[in-house]
Amino acid sequence: MIVRDDCIRLLAAHHADEIVVPLYQAAFEWHAIKPWPLTYYAFGAMGQGSSHALGFAIGVPERRVWVLDGDGSLLMNLGTFVTIAEAAPENLIHFVFENGTYEANGAHPIPGSGFVNFAGMAKAAGIPNVHEFSEMDALAEALPEILTAPGPTFVDLKVVPGGSYEYRWDVVHGSESRAIFRKAMDAVLSAR
């Protein structure tokens, strides 16, 4: 299994100027590891992170967009696979941290834990680039190509929790974070 915060550190090391849409536990870890102005914290709408990321990918096609999703969150919006495949944004990468639980809500098991196949669902929906990893070394080797290949791309990461991170509700729900994101996005859009 992959330790989730080690994986987020790996993604942060490869991050350039992508728009990042992290959800729930991944959001706290992303903020601690790589605070970034173009981070849109998708809190309070469980399952909608991939839909928000799709909107950014369509609206800002010159930038890559990463969504850092959880398996519990993805279960709330499985239709996202079909919608993303239909829209076919080449700049969207959907990472899912699969740990079999609704971690942010007390680590209760998700339905289908242990046998649901998210990568299979993504392929069946028409996502052209689908990857699955349970080992960090394999992910590290494949990641540079995944990050530069035309998408849409779906990456299922079999993870276990890592370190303990402060729940920064002031960041993920805060007006300051929204203002920072808005200012950074305005700069991107005005540079067109």
Using alpha carbons, list the distances in angstroms from residue 15 to 18, 35, 63, 77: 7, 11, 12, 26
Give per-residue burial for 112-151: e unless 16+ CB within 10 Å, then b: ebeebebbebbbebebebbbbbeebeebbeebeebbeeeb
Q: How many CB atoms lie within 10 A of CB 5?
A: 22
Residue 192 is assigned to a structural domain of this protein: no
Cis bond before residue 152 (omega within 30° of 0): yes
**Domain range holding 39?**
2-187
Q: Report pTM.
A: 0.94
Residue whose C-alpha is closest to residue 129's, from 99, 158, 98, 91: 91
Q: How many domains does the chain have?
A: 1
pLDDT at 110: 72
pLDDT at 104: 66
Q: What is the residue type of 45?
A: A
N-terminal to C-terminal alpha carbon distance within the chain: 41
Residue 162 is assigned to a structural domain of this protein: yes
pLDDT at 115: 81
Q: DSSP class of residue 13?
A: H
pLDDT at 125: 97
Residue 128 is assigned to a structural domain of this protein: yes
Residue 16 is assigned to a structural domain of this protein: yes
pLDDT at 106: 65
Q: What would the two tokens of residue 120 be?
A: 């299979």
Residue whose C-alpha is closest to residue 88's, from 154, 6, 184: 154
pLDDT at 166: 74
pLDDT at 25: 86
pLDDT at 163: 77
- What CATH number should be reported for the domain holding residue 61? 3.40.50.970
pLDDT at 124: 98
Residue 142 is assigned to a structural domain of this protein: yes
* pLDDT by 10s per residue, the chain, length 192: 899 999 999 999 999 999 999 998 899 999 999 999 999 987 777 788 999 999 999 999 999 999 999 998 899 899 999 999 999 999 999 999 998 766 666 666 777 778 899 999 999 999 999 999 999 999 999 999 999 999 999 999 999 987 777 777 787 778 888 999 999 999 999 998
